Amino acid sequence: MINTLHDIVAEVTNRIGITTSSTYFTPTKINSVCIDAYNWAVALYQWPMLEIAKTTTTVATQYYYDYPDGFMTDSVSRVIMDGDKYELKAFDDFLDYKYQTTPVPTGKIAADYGKQIFIYPTPTQSGLNIHIWGLEMPDQLTENEDTIFTDSDIMGNEAVVKKALSVLLAQANRKQEGQAEEAEAIAMLANIYSKILKRQAKYTRLDKQMFDVPDFFGEEDVSEIIGNF
């Protein structure tokens, strides 16, 4: 079973040795290509396996704050300050709202831009907790460390193998085979992410109705009868 970087390298080495001369592909080259393939797979989607929450604190009269260490750019999904949720907005919309004068805005919103978080209204007190959810940048994968796919969907590691093979085959002037391997890798990762989205879609939002029953019989209006379980 392919769980770690070591397993990925061993599998790629075995397969590339079968398909073409292995003397061209040194262990160092194969290891480097496998790491690059893994980083490519990790960056392809916003994998929930990388979600994390970190906390910083307010500074009075300051409305912008640096990203928490290790966060990916443009990955913030939720901001809560002093127990209140701040709705995330596009940065331009945030600025329009912040500087609106008529009427004076009263909502609580946030935005991220570059590597910073922006909050409205501007905090008037220092030391309040700002909890920020986002995606962390994974550390460099070590030889015997499980990948982010190992405990979620092992086929992600097979996709990494195929991506690495695609690069090596292209370097061996077997581009058509390499393109086929890459296409399979992309399709496998897309399928994994699609399954994740389907699982997440099963969770019912608190502010969303579960059922909307139409009035087929022209009697009592039951369109407002919502099933709650």
Distance CA 73, CA 112 (A): 9
Low-confidence ranges of the chain (pLDDT < 70): 19-23, 204-229
pLDDT confidence of residue 188: 97
Domain boundaries, given as residue ranges, for the chain: 5-47+148-201, 49-135
pLDDT confidence of residue 21: 58
Contact 102, 155 (CB under 8 A): no
Contact 156, 148 (CB under 8 A): yes
Report phi then psi at 6, rounded to 5.
-55, -45
Q: Which of 143, 174, 144, 193 has its CA nearest to residue 41?
A: 193
pLDDT confidence of residue 11: 96
Question: pLDDT tens digits, residue range 163-188?
Answer: 999 999 999 999 999 999 999 999 99
Give the alpha-carbon dihedral of 191, 13, 168, 161, to 10 degrees.
10
The pTM score is: 0.76
Tokens 């009075």: give the residue.
60
Tokens coding 140: 């460099």
pLDDT confidence of residue 222: 38
